[in-house]
Protein backbone atom coordinates (compact mmCIF):
# COMPACT_ATOMS: atom_id res chain seq x y z
CA UNK A 1 0.00 0.00 0.00
CA UNK A 2 1.42 3.37 -1.06
CA UNK A 3 0.93 6.40 1.11
CA UNK A 4 1.12 10.13 0.41
CA UNK A 5 1.90 12.56 3.23
CA UNK A 6 -0.99 14.93 4.01
CA UNK A 7 -0.83 18.29 2.29
CA UNK A 8 -2.51 21.57 3.09
CA UNK A 9 -6.18 21.83 2.19
CA UNK A 10 -6.29 25.35 0.75
CA UNK A 11 -10.08 25.23 0.64
CA UNK A 12 -10.08 25.78 4.40
CA UNK A 13 -8.02 28.96 3.90
CA UNK A 14 -10.17 30.06 0.97
CA UNK A 15 -13.26 29.66 3.12
CA UNK A 16 -12.06 32.46 5.39
CA UNK A 17 -12.04 34.72 2.32
CA UNK A 18 -15.52 33.69 1.12
CA UNK A 19 -16.88 34.04 4.66
CA UNK A 20 -15.44 37.53 4.93
CA UNK A 21 -16.84 38.50 1.53
CA UNK A 22 -20.26 37.10 2.39
CA UNK A 23 -20.38 38.90 5.73
CA UNK A 24 -19.32 42.19 4.12
CA UNK A 25 -21.83 41.85 1.27
CA UNK A 26 -24.67 40.80 3.57
CA UNK A 27 -24.88 44.37 4.89
CA UNK A 28 -26.27 45.34 1.46
CA UNK A 29 -28.88 42.59 0.99
CA UNK A 30 -32.07 44.11 -0.35
CA UNK A 31 -30.77 47.69 -0.42
CA UNK A 32 -30.81 47.91 -4.23
CA UNK A 33 -27.13 48.81 -4.60
CA UNK A 34 -25.28 45.90 -6.19
CA UNK A 35 -22.10 47.92 -6.86
CA UNK A 36 -21.54 48.79 -3.21
CA UNK A 37 -22.30 45.26 -2.08
CA UNK A 38 -19.85 43.88 -4.63
CA UNK A 39 -17.20 46.43 -3.63
CA UNK A 40 -17.49 45.50 0.04
CA UNK A 41 -17.13 41.80 -0.82
CA UNK A 42 -14.10 42.41 -3.07
CA UNK A 43 -12.26 44.39 -0.40
CA UNK A 44 -12.96 41.75 2.25
CA UNK A 45 -11.92 38.89 -0.01
CA UNK A 46 -8.70 40.62 -1.08
CA UNK A 47 -7.72 41.27 2.54
CA UNK A 48 -8.17 37.62 3.55
CA UNK A 49 -6.56 36.19 0.39
CA UNK A 50 -3.42 38.14 1.15
CA UNK A 51 -3.09 36.16 4.39
CA UNK A 52 -3.20 32.75 2.66
CA UNK A 53 0.16 30.92 2.41
CA UNK A 54 0.29 30.70 -1.38
CA UNK A 55 1.26 32.74 -4.41
CA UNK A 56 -2.11 33.23 -6.02
CA UNK A 57 -2.74 34.83 -9.39
CA UNK A 58 -6.26 35.88 -10.35
CA UNK A 59 -6.97 34.52 -13.83
CA UNK A 60 -10.76 34.66 -13.76
CA UNK A 61 -12.51 37.72 -12.37
CA UNK A 62 -15.78 39.50 -12.97
CA UNK A 63 -14.87 43.15 -13.29
CA UNK A 64 -14.14 43.29 -17.02
CA UNK A 65 -17.65 42.15 -17.90
CA UNK A 66 -19.67 43.89 -15.22
CA UNK A 67 -17.62 47.09 -14.96
CA UNK A 68 -17.70 46.43 -11.23
CA UNK A 69 -15.05 46.67 -8.52
CA UNK A 70 -12.90 43.63 -8.94
CA UNK A 71 -10.01 41.45 -8.10
CA UNK A 72 -8.52 42.15 -11.51
CA UNK A 73 -7.12 39.57 -13.90
CA UNK A 74 -3.39 39.15 -13.28
CA UNK A 75 -3.53 40.45 -9.71
CA UNK A 76 -1.16 38.64 -7.36
CA UNK A 77 -2.39 37.79 -3.86
CA UNK A 78 -1.19 35.67 -0.98
CA UNK A 79 1.59 35.51 1.59
CA UNK A 80 3.90 33.30 -0.48
CA UNK A 81 4.17 29.59 -1.12
CA UNK A 82 2.76 27.21 -3.72
CA UNK A 83 1.78 28.86 -7.02
CA UNK A 84 -1.91 28.63 -7.91
CA UNK A 85 -4.37 30.21 -10.30
CA UNK A 86 -7.55 31.67 -8.81
CA UNK A 87 -11.02 32.07 -10.24
CA UNK A 88 -13.00 34.39 -8.01
CA UNK A 89 -16.46 35.87 -7.73
CA UNK A 90 -16.84 37.78 -4.46
CA UNK A 91 -20.59 38.06 -5.16
CA UNK A 92 -22.07 35.66 -7.66
CA UNK A 93 -25.51 37.11 -8.17
CA UNK A 94 -25.07 40.83 -7.49
CA UNK A 95 -28.65 41.46 -8.62
CA UNK A 96 -29.87 38.76 -6.25
CA UNK A 97 -27.96 40.52 -3.47
CA UNK A 98 -29.36 43.93 -4.32
CA UNK A 99 -32.94 42.68 -4.52
CA UNK A 100 -32.71 40.35 -1.54
CA UNK A 101 -33.47 37.30 -3.67
CA UNK A 102 -32.28 33.72 -3.00
CA UNK A 103 -29.06 32.27 -4.41
CA UNK A 104 -26.32 34.89 -3.96
CA UNK A 105 -23.00 33.31 -2.95
CA UNK A 106 -19.34 34.23 -2.57
CA UNK A 107 -17.04 31.79 -4.34
CA UNK A 108 -13.35 31.02 -5.03
CA UNK A 109 -11.74 28.20 -7.01
CA UNK A 110 -8.01 27.43 -6.98
CA UNK A 111 -5.95 25.16 -9.24
CA UNK A 112 -2.25 24.66 -10.03
CA UNK A 113 -0.72 27.45 -12.11
CA UNK A 114 -1.71 27.17 -15.77
CA UNK A 115 -4.48 24.56 -15.47
CA UNK A 116 -7.61 26.73 -15.77
CA UNK A 117 -9.17 27.55 -19.15
CA UNK A 118 -8.59 31.13 -20.25
CA UNK A 119 -11.62 32.42 -22.20
CA UNK A 120 -9.71 35.50 -23.37
CA UNK A 121 -12.17 38.10 -24.71
CA UNK A 122 -15.10 35.69 -24.41
CA UNK A 123 -17.68 36.82 -21.88
CA UNK A 124 -20.43 34.26 -22.60
CA UNK A 125 -20.60 30.51 -23.22
CA UNK A 126 -23.22 27.82 -23.71
CA UNK A 127 -23.05 25.31 -20.86
CA UNK A 128 -24.32 21.85 -20.03
CA UNK A 129 -23.87 20.49 -16.49
CA UNK A 130 -25.12 17.11 -15.29
CA UNK A 131 -24.67 14.86 -12.23
CA UNK A 132 -22.10 12.03 -12.20
CA UNK A 133 -24.61 9.38 -13.30
CA UNK A 134 -25.29 11.26 -16.57
CA UNK A 135 -21.85 12.56 -17.48
CA UNK A 136 -21.42 10.03 -20.30
CA UNK A 137 -24.95 10.52 -21.61
CA UNK A 138 -25.12 14.24 -22.40
CA UNK A 139 -23.31 16.29 -25.03
CA UNK A 140 -23.62 19.89 -26.23
CA UNK A 141 -23.72 18.68 -29.83
CA UNK A 142 -27.15 17.15 -29.16
CA UNK A 143 -30.38 19.12 -29.07
CA UNK A 144 -31.91 19.93 -25.67
CA UNK A 145 -34.67 17.39 -26.32
CA UNK A 146 -32.13 14.65 -27.15
CA UNK A 147 -30.02 15.53 -24.11
CA UNK A 148 -32.99 15.42 -21.78
CA UNK A 149 -33.97 11.99 -23.10
CA UNK A 150 -30.46 10.63 -22.55
CA UNK A 151 -30.06 12.29 -19.13
CA UNK A 152 -33.40 10.89 -17.98
CA UNK A 153 -32.36 7.40 -19.10
CA UNK A 154 -29.05 7.69 -17.24
CA UNK A 155 -30.77 8.89 -14.07
CA UNK A 156 -33.41 6.18 -14.27
CA UNK A 157 -36.47 8.41 -14.38
CA UNK A 158 -38.84 9.86 -16.99
CA UNK A 159 -38.15 13.21 -18.64
CA UNK A 160 -41.19 14.72 -16.92
CA UNK A 161 -39.41 14.29 -13.57
CA UNK A 162 -36.29 16.22 -14.65
CA UNK A 163 -35.80 19.80 -13.44
CA UNK A 164 -33.60 22.04 -15.57
CA UNK A 165 -31.87 25.17 -14.27
CA UNK A 166 -32.05 27.96 -16.90
CA UNK A 167 -31.20 31.63 -16.56
CA UNK A 168 -34.28 33.77 -17.18
CA UNK A 169 -32.91 35.75 -20.13
CA UNK A 170 -34.45 36.74 -23.51
CA UNK A 171 -31.76 34.70 -25.30
CA UNK A 172 -33.22 31.52 -23.80
CA UNK A 173 -36.77 31.83 -25.15
CA UNK A 174 -36.31 29.05 -27.73
CA UNK A 175 -34.44 26.84 -25.24
CA UNK A 176 -37.21 27.22 -22.65
CA UNK A 177 -39.86 26.31 -25.22
CA UNK A 178 -37.94 23.20 -26.32
CA UNK A 179 -37.40 22.01 -22.74
CA UNK A 180 -41.11 22.38 -22.01
CA UNK A 181 -42.08 20.61 -25.24
CA UNK A 182 -39.80 17.76 -24.18
CA UNK A 183 -41.85 17.54 -20.97
CA UNK A 184 -39.21 18.55 -18.42
CA UNK A 185 -39.68 21.09 -15.66
CA UNK A 186 -37.72 24.34 -15.47
CA UNK A 187 -36.46 26.47 -12.60
CA UNK A 188 -35.91 29.97 -14.03
CA UNK A 189 -33.42 32.15 -12.17
CA UNK A 190 -32.36 35.68 -13.05
CA UNK A 191 -28.70 35.11 -12.05
CA UNK A 192 -26.35 32.66 -10.41
CA UNK A 193 -25.24 29.93 -12.77
CA UNK A 194 -22.31 28.85 -10.57
CA UNK A 195 -24.93 28.01 -7.96
CA UNK A 196 -27.02 26.43 -10.71
CA UNK A 197 -24.13 24.22 -11.81
CA UNK A 198 -23.52 23.11 -8.24
CA UNK A 199 -27.21 22.40 -7.77
CA UNK A 200 -27.18 20.18 -10.87
CA UNK A 201 -24.35 18.04 -9.51
CA UNK A 202 -25.08 17.96 -5.78
CA UNK A 203 -27.72 15.46 -4.62
CA UNK A 204 -30.91 16.60 -2.97
CA UNK A 205 -31.18 20.07 -4.54
CA UNK A 206 -34.11 19.30 -6.82
CA UNK A 207 -32.09 20.29 -9.92
CA UNK A 208 -30.96 17.64 -12.43
CA UNK A 209 -29.25 19.62 -15.19
CA UNK A 210 -28.09 23.12 -16.11
CA UNK A 211 -28.59 24.31 -19.68
CA UNK A 212 -28.11 27.62 -21.47
CA UNK A 213 -25.71 30.48 -21.98
CA UNK A 214 -24.08 32.28 -19.07
CA UNK A 215 -20.82 33.98 -18.20
CA UNK A 216 -17.51 32.31 -19.08
CA UNK A 217 -15.92 33.33 -15.74
CA UNK A 218 -18.74 31.56 -13.93
CA UNK A 219 -18.25 28.58 -16.25
CA UNK A 220 -14.59 28.17 -15.31
CA UNK A 221 -15.37 28.54 -11.59
CA UNK A 222 -18.14 25.96 -11.90
CA UNK A 223 -15.85 23.55 -13.79
CA UNK A 224 -13.52 23.30 -10.78
CA UNK A 225 -16.42 22.33 -8.53
CA UNK A 226 -18.06 19.99 -11.05
CA UNK A 227 -14.80 18.10 -11.60
CA UNK A 228 -14.24 17.76 -7.85
CA UNK A 229 -17.76 16.38 -7.47
CA UNK A 230 -17.37 13.89 -10.33
CA UNK A 231 -20.05 15.49 -12.48
CA UNK A 232 -20.11 16.25 -16.18
CA UNK A 233 -19.75 19.61 -17.89
CA UNK A 234 -19.19 20.99 -21.37
CA UNK A 235 -18.93 24.54 -22.63
CA UNK A 236 -18.91 26.30 -26.00
CA UNK A 237 -18.12 30.00 -26.46
CA UNK A 238 -21.31 31.86 -27.36
CA UNK A 239 -20.62 35.57 -27.99
CA UNK A 240 -23.59 37.85 -27.44
CA UNK A 241 -22.38 40.77 -29.57
CA UNK A 242 -20.55 41.25 -32.85
CA UNK A 243 -17.69 42.92 -30.98
CA UNK A 244 -17.28 39.89 -28.71
CA UNK A 245 -17.45 37.54 -31.70
CA UNK A 246 -14.85 39.57 -33.64
CA UNK A 247 -12.51 39.67 -30.65
CA UNK A 248 -12.74 35.91 -30.15
CA UNK A 249 -12.13 35.06 -33.79
CA UNK A 250 -9.15 37.40 -34.02
CA UNK A 251 -7.75 35.96 -30.79
CA UNK A 252 -7.76 32.50 -32.41
CA UNK A 253 -10.73 30.91 -30.65
CA UNK A 254 -12.91 28.44 -32.60
CA UNK A 255 -16.53 29.29 -31.87
CA UNK A 256 -17.76 25.80 -32.74
CA UNK A 257 -15.37 24.00 -30.37
CA UNK A 258 -16.93 22.19 -27.44
CA UNK A 259 -14.66 22.23 -24.38
CA UNK A 260 -14.87 19.23 -22.09
CA UNK A 261 -14.34 19.31 -18.35
CA UNK A 262 -10.67 18.34 -18.54
CA UNK A 263 -10.01 21.30 -20.86
CA UNK A 264 -11.81 23.73 -18.58
CA UNK A 265 -9.94 22.47 -15.51
CA UNK A 266 -6.89 20.36 -16.32
CA UNK A 267 -6.10 19.17 -12.80
CA UNK A 268 -7.66 17.21 -9.94
CA UNK A 269 -5.51 19.08 -7.43
CA UNK A 270 -8.12 21.76 -6.92
CA UNK A 271 -9.72 23.62 -4.03
CA UNK A 272 -13.13 25.30 -3.97
CA UNK A 273 -15.01 27.33 -1.39
CA UNK A 274 -18.44 28.94 -1.50
CA UNK A 275 -20.32 30.78 1.25
CA UNK A 276 -23.99 31.70 1.09
CA UNK A 277 -24.99 35.37 1.17
CA UNK A 278 -28.74 34.87 0.67
CA UNK A 279 -30.54 31.54 1.12
CA UNK A 280 -30.20 29.20 -1.85
CA UNK A 281 -30.83 25.58 -2.88
CA UNK A 282 -27.73 24.21 -1.15
CA UNK A 283 -26.38 26.97 1.12
CA UNK A 284 -28.10 29.13 3.71
CA UNK A 285 -27.39 32.83 3.61
CA UNK A 286 -25.89 35.04 6.32
CA UNK A 287 -28.19 35.14 9.34
CA UNK A 288 -27.97 37.53 12.26
CA UNK A 289 -28.94 36.52 15.78
CA UNK A 290 -28.23 39.09 18.45
CA UNK A 291 -24.54 39.94 18.25
CA UNK A 292 -23.74 36.87 16.15
CA UNK A 293 -23.73 36.19 12.42
CA UNK A 294 -24.05 32.65 11.10
CA UNK A 295 -22.58 31.54 7.77
CA UNK A 296 -22.76 28.27 5.86
CA UNK A 297 -20.02 27.22 3.44
CA UNK A 298 -19.34 24.39 1.02
CA UNK A 299 -15.74 23.22 0.59
CA UNK A 300 -14.43 20.85 -2.07
CA UNK A 301 -11.02 19.28 -2.48
CA UNK A 302 -10.46 17.76 -5.89
CA UNK A 303 -7.57 15.44 -5.00
CA UNK A 304 -9.68 13.49 -2.49
CA UNK A 305 -13.16 14.52 -3.67
CA UNK A 306 -13.89 15.51 -0.10
CA UNK A 307 -16.97 17.65 0.44
CA UNK A 308 -17.32 19.63 3.64
CA UNK A 309 -20.21 21.73 4.89
CA UNK A 310 -19.14 24.25 7.50
CA UNK A 311 -21.45 26.27 9.70
CA UNK A 312 -19.67 29.11 11.46
CA UNK A 313 -20.80 31.54 14.13
CA UNK A 314 -19.10 34.93 14.05
CA UNK A 315 -19.18 37.27 17.02
CA UNK A 316 -19.51 40.59 15.24
CA UNK A 317 -18.24 42.74 18.10
CA UNK A 318 -14.96 40.83 18.11
CA UNK A 319 -14.61 40.87 14.32
CA UNK A 320 -15.22 44.60 14.13
CA UNK A 321 -12.62 45.22 16.81
CA UNK A 322 -9.79 43.39 15.04
CA UNK A 323 -10.60 43.56 11.32
CA UNK A 324 -10.17 46.29 8.72
CA UNK A 325 -13.33 45.00 7.03
CA UNK A 326 -16.42 47.09 7.93
CA UNK A 327 -18.67 44.13 8.75
| Cα 91 from Cα 195, distance rounded (Å) | 11
Residue 269 assigned as binding residue = no
Contact status, residue 239 vs residue 211, Cβ threshold 8 Å: no
Residue 218 assigned as binding residue = yes
Residue 170 assigned as binding residue = yes
The 3-state DSSP class for residue 275 equals: strand
Residue 268 assigned as binding residue = no
Residue 65 assigned as binding residue = no
The 3-state DSSP class for residue 133 equals: helix
Residue 232 assigned as binding residue = no
Residue 93 assigned as binding residue = yes
Ramachandran quadrant class, 79 (left: phi over 0; alpha: psi -120 to 50; beta: rest): alpha
Residue 8 assigned as binding residue = no
**Core vs surface per residue 311-324: b (16+ CB within 10 A) or e:** eeebeeeeeeeeee
| Cα 61 from Cα 205, distance rounded (Å) | 27
The 3-state DSSP class for residue 220 equals: helix
Residue 231 assigned as binding residue = no
DSSP annotation of 246 reads H
* Max CA pair span of the chain: 57
Residue 281 assigned as binding residue = no
Residue 192 assigned as binding residue = yes
State how far Cα 256 lies from the chain centre: 24
Residue 85 assigned as binding residue = no
| Cα 218 from Cα 197, distance rounded (Å) | 9
Residue 46 assigned as binding residue = no
Q: Can you say which residues are annotated as belonging to the binding site for Mn(2+)?
A: 38, 62, 89, 92, 218
Q: Can you say which residues are annotated as belonging to the binding site for substrate?
A: 92-94, 124, 169-171, 191-193, 215
Q: Can you say which residues are annotated as belonging to the binding site?
A: 38, 62, 89, 92-94, 124, 169-171, 191-193, 215, 218
Amino acid sequence: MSTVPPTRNLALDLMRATEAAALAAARFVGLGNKEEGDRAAVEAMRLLLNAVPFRGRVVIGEGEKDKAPMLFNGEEVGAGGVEVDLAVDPVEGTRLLALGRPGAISVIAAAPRGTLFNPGPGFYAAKLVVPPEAKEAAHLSLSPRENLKEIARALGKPVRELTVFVLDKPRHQALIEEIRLAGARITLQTDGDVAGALAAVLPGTGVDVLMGTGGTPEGVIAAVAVRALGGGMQMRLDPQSEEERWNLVHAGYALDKIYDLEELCASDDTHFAATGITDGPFLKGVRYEGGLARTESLLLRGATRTLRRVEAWHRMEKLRAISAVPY
